Amino acid sequence: MSDPNPVIDDETLRSYLADTLPAEDLARVEKALRDSSELRDRLEDVRQNRGDANLHTLGAIWRRGRLTCPSRQQLGSYLLDALDPGLADYIKFHLDVIECPFCQANLADLSAKATQPPAAVKSRHNRILTSSRHLLGDEGRH
């Protein structure tokens, strides 16, 4: 007779991260993750170890290593149209054709910096600080 509540081991968590769990197991893991901070911490550990064979691909390695992502400084220069044309064309390709989500996010952020009201930005930052401060060490509480 099978265990109605099998243990959620690291392999199960790896499958969860890889989106390969059957629906029933997926629901069970998601519920357990919502209920258990210990399990959420373990999930983070598993995720960082990245032991999933399915992730081991050249494409994934390229993306994870962000091998062709321009630096944020280069993205800033791209916005100002201050790059060598060849590199600027390549960055446009990386953004528009490869659709690199991280470079797109950096570019959007850099573009927004000029137009966002500083008070709104500060308010967002304060909210994060308030919600996370208790997780800093004792010295951070003053």
Q: Residue 2 CB, nearest distance to other proteins (Å)? A: 25
Specify the 3-state DSSP secondary structure of 66: coil
Contact 12, 43 (CB under 8 A): no
* Exposure on the CB side of residue 133, measured as CA atoms within 13 A: 9
Our CB check for other proteins shows the closer of 61 and 82 to be 61
Told to check if 18 binds other proteins by CB under 8 A, we report: yes
How many angstroms separate the CA atoms of 137 and 49, rounded? 25
Tokens of 90: 């390549």
Name the minimum Å distance from CB 1 to other proteins.
Answer: 30
Helices (H) and strands (E) in the chain, counts: 8, 0
Among 9, 82, 96, 124, binds other proteins (CB under 8 A): 124
By CB under 8 A, is residue 22 in contact with other proteins?
A: no
Which chain residues interact with other proteins by CB under 8 A?
A: 17-19, 30, 33, 40-41, 44-45, 47-51, 53-69, 71, 86-87, 89-90, 93-94, 97-98, 101-102, 104-106, 108-109, 112-113, 121, 124-125, 127-129, 131-133, 135-142
